Structure 1
């Protein structure tokens, strides 16, 4: 290929199968599950080769817009655009909208590499060869999917039947197969000629849009109009809500790939995992001699074939086999590792309870575009939090109707605006913010600002914030 490939990264999912680490407010694509950078950042790095790729288009939802921008900035990666979905409508309209935007930005002949943001991929020489062959085929009008050579009878993936072989280039698709039961998965593995459907695609912007217009006209119109009527918001592009919401909620596989005569597959066997469950994380990681994978403060005794991850408390496990123990600051999951696909069921139960829904949606630590906060203790008419503010960032100018606050600086320098007066505080200094005052917190320094916030009052909810000015457009 002589023209750069345009990456399209899908980053709007709210997966539940990696609970309690993954939650609605910060799902797995933004977590560092395989190293020091998040899965989304790993995907960005993979498409940051200027010799192959143009700047990426990311499509996500509004709630994740600042996480996407922040994690791209951390890597120094420039994006072609961050498209915000106004509502969840699955992958067909999301990819169609990205194709329409790419055509307007890069031209109708643009070649798009559509990638989930939460997969673990070994981008070796075989990977780059497959990318090049798929792009050449997409330029000729094919809609190419990447088929992974299966290594075990997985029931959590869809499959593709094709005569393709690794190294044989792009080949026709015979049919797509739904997620099978264990017996059928083992049979397909034994027969050969079946591949895991990776959810990675290489498509031409124009050829894909024409197929969508023919096979899914409602989706086509919704995507076209949502992009045409989109509005800029800071560094983001908000797709038009009325137009986008008119699209049916359907995957690109059902809407297009299973119907089109242009579908093709390239068989690949580079390292790949969708990290869609805790057993997939275990399979993809480096295990010890007893086949245990651990992360964080963990002590094991007589444990085999298990996954133990903690981001806060020290976890000690004794005399167990085939277990997953996942511990966070406010929730712990324990189950059979071999049945980790069932985590979604327990999350559904938790979501149905008014006392447990919160632990499926937010972490004890909440992230904001300026930094974030962690809950320390909650009581009757009081709450204690740890706030952290990034260098050069500031919170909105705001006031509260129902609470007063005390701030104690424990690290860095705080610039506090209180009813128009600006005060600079250093470590071990504090300030009182009476109920109803107009205030703002900023970090003018070069290191993170950390402070302890004590809230007192009749109501302490996060919705008791009246924003007056905000550099992140949240007024």
Structure 2
């Protein structure tokens, strides 16, 4: 399993990336990501992060005594396709034919049992040589997500990918919701390390070559494995979707209904929170009056909110 712990998110506190924040409970999003996977039949996670965040990642895992297989340090951000390639190359040194579950470290999944079922379904496709994505069944005409149009059903809840579509306008999103064949693109993947690297070499050879070269520069320091900045900086920046999935005929999508949320906006913080009888989500020492359907978080000092 690979946790992608690099992105800074769309809201920050003191420039702290959101995966290091406790926005959905007592644990941080990174800690919750690792914890929810501990009950699945997976190896301990391998993490990929920017080298500036190495001590935050290691410290948050250590606090809860969470096991891992190492932390790969990127000197510069190059998006998800290179990160997955480096992780795949590393995984191949640990097992003969490893399967990677690639996850962002800053998402919420409220139903880990349903996630486990989706992972098991994706594994069936991976055994047949497919590269799997996890598509979330939409609950609203969301304009902030990319969509995946599913095609023929290959196995129960496992479909061929017919099309990737960019973030739609509201009217188009309403059409997607009514159609029933469009899923939100969660940014979560599962594939064998060998199949991913072969596809990357076929469709984005410059990324493959750059990552292969950069991996040779890996320097290990205790739990960290550091890539050379000179080598890795030459790697093009691209996502797994654009570099591989939109090109390969082996792409499949698994339906995911597990309370997924990418925590990408203030409204999503309200959506994932425990609400009082007036629809308010209150965190910390908060006093409210005449307030409904509002998110209030007071961390360092008491908070007062009046009016909705």
Fold in common (TM above 0.5): yes
In 2, Cα distance between equivalents of 1:233 and 1:248: 26
- Matching residue of 2:54: 65
Structure with greater proportional helix content: 2
- Matching residue of 2:190: 202
Alpha-carbon displacement from aligned partner over 1:54-92 (angstroms, at most 9, x marks no partner)? 121100011111111111112222211100001011111
In 1, Cα distance between equivalents of 2:286 and 2:110: 27
Secondary structure of residue in 2 paired with 1:147: strand
In 2, Cα distance between equivalents of 1:149 and 1:277: 19
- Matching residue of 1:156: 144
Secondary structure of residue in 2 paired with 1:79: coil
In 2, Cα distance between equivalents of 1:203 and 1:173: 15
Does residue 224 of structure 1 match 2:217? no
- Matching residue of 2:26: 36
- Quote the offset at 1:235 in angstroms: 2.0
Does residue 9 of structure 1 match 2:6? no
Q: 2:126·2:190 contact (CA, 8 Å) conserved in 1?
A: yes
Q: 1:164·1:267 contact (CA, 8 Å) conserved in 2?
A: no
Q: 2:19·2:30 contact (CA, 8 Å) conserved in 1?
A: yes
In 1, Cα distance between equivalents of 2:55 and 2:37: 20
Aligned runs of 1:130-279 on 2, under 5 Å? 130-163=118-151, 168-279=156-267
TM-score (norm: length of structure 1): 0.63
In 2, Cα distance between equivalents of 1:46 and 1:298: 29
Query: Is the radius of gyration larger for structure 1 or structure 2?
Result: 1
- Matching residue of 1:110: 98
Q: Which runs of 5+ in 1 are unaligned?
A: 1-6, 321-475
- Quote the offset at 1:246 in angstroms: 1.1
Alpha-carbon displacement from aligned partner over 1:376-410 (angstroms, at most 9, x marks no partner)? xxxxxxxxxxxxxxxxxxxxxxxxxxxxxxxxxxx
Does residue 81 of structure 1 match 2:78? no
- Quote the offset at 1:313 in angstroms: 2.5
2:286 paired residue among 287, 298, 306? 298
Secondary structure of residue in 2 paired with 1:94: helix
Runs of 4 or more, structure 1, over 6 Å off, are none
In 2, Cα distance between equivalents of 1:199 and 1:67: 23
In 1, Cα distance between equivalents of 2:159 and 2:55: 40
Q: 2:50·2:74 contact (CA, 8 Å) conserved in 1?
A: yes
Aligned runs of 1:417-436 on 2, under 5 Å? none
TM-score (norm: length of structure 2): 0.95
Q: 1:72 to 1:234 in 2, by over 3 A?
A: same
Q: Which runs of 5+ in 2 are unaligned?
A: none
Q: 1:218·1:246 contact (CA, 8 Å) conserved in 2?
A: no
1:94 paired residue among 83, 95, 108? 83
State the Cα RMSD in Å.
1.5
Secondary structure of residue in 1 paired with 2:3: strand
- Quote the offset at 1:182 in angstroms: 1.5
- Matching residue of 2:11: 18
- Matching residue of 1:348: none
Q: 1:291·1:306 contact (CA, 8 Å) conserved in 2?
A: yes
In 2, Cα distance between equivalents of 1:110 and 1:318: 54
Q: 1:142·1:203 contact (CA, 8 Å) conserved in 2?
A: yes
